[in-house]
Amino acid sequence: MNNITRLKADLKEIHDDPPINCSAGILNDDITTWEATIIGPENTPYESGVFKLLINFPSNYPFKPPRVKFDTRIFHPNINKQGSICLDTLNKNWSPALTVSKLLLSISSLLSEPNFDDPLDIRAAQIYKKNKDEYFQTAKMYTSKYASS
């Protein structure tokens, strides 16, 4: 299966059976570039926020992971100011069995359960460890400012 065939299969899967609070589709008629949306999970500082992500697929996808970045600013220990995401699934734990739907669910789970021990945004992790209330207030403020629908 070449990467275009696989991308079409991933696209069909996400349209036919979208993961909870997630969607994705082709951007600018280029099947190797997608825009995705994740709705912030309930009971998190990201609740009800609408987060846009950009997904770029390499020519050797699914054998290599896509590059996924948040296009919407977010205050999170595993996502930096440039939108890069620290998630094992996007790096050393990538598997060709993973689809875009599963990947978006993993990123959505990261919003619910940040990994404070492996931060990409060290400041966010430090604030959480020192003062959880300040962390939640800052994350909510970012969500309100940048991710309002």
Q: What amino acid positions are annotated as catalytic residues?
A: 86
Q: In which residue are the tokens 């492996």 written?
A: 118
CA nearest 6: which of 68, 70, 58, 54?
A: 58
CA dist., res. 70 & res. 68, Å (int): 7
Nearest to 40 by CA among 20, 26, 16: 20
